[in-house]
Amino acid sequence: MAENGATAAEIEILLHERVELNAMTSDALIAMIKRKLKQYGLKKVVPSNELLGEAYREFHRSKELREELEELESGFEESKIKVPKNLKNQVSAILTKHPDLRWDDAIQIVLDEDQLDHVKTRKQKAKAKSGDFTDSGEDEGGR
């Protein structure tokens, strides 16, 4: 405990007194955590001017886009979209041919076949960003 920064008094309490955090009400626990954070001088983080400016521009752009969309949407008439009777068969056929896709990806492709490349590219980018854990070098039973 000392290696992780506990004082002798804190170690003594933890060794000889029972501490039940779950016995505290949520409000009491939060109040204690806030009090301890303040006691140790922790404060809210305010990022650099560069990051603040970037975030401000992004929020401003998002606000403008939302306003434009609301304006466009108010003048948009609901179209009567007919769902294909064989949609489930079409989705199943796409998933059979492309098992790496999700069902909602398949719906986009039913709607527009040209979306296949876009969907695959988006999935590859997401996979690259998060890391590929599908080929860990171990067989399925070796976990």
Per-residue model confidence as pLDDT tens for the chain (143 residues): 888 888 888 888 888 876 677 778 889 889 988 998 888 888 888 999 999 999 999 999 999 999 999 999 887 777 788 899 999 999 999 999 999 899 999 999 999 999 999 899 988 888 888 876 665 544 444 43
Based on the structure, what is the number of domains in the chain?
A: 2
Distances (CA, A) of 100 to 41, 71, 123: 49, 38, 9
Question: 23 lies in a domain?
Answer: yes
Question: 113 lies in a domain?
Answer: yes
Q: Distance (Å, rounded) from C-alpha 98 to C-alpha 105? A: 10
Q: What is the amino acid identity at position 39?
A: Q
| C-alpha dihedral sign at 5, 8, 12, 13 | negative
State pTM to two decimals.
0.43
Question: 114 lies in a domain?
Answer: yes
DSSP letters for 5-73:
T--HHHHHHHHHS---GGGS-HHHHHHHHHHHHHHTT-------HHHHHHHHHHHHHHHHHHHHHHHHH
Q: Which domain holds residue 21?
A: 8-39
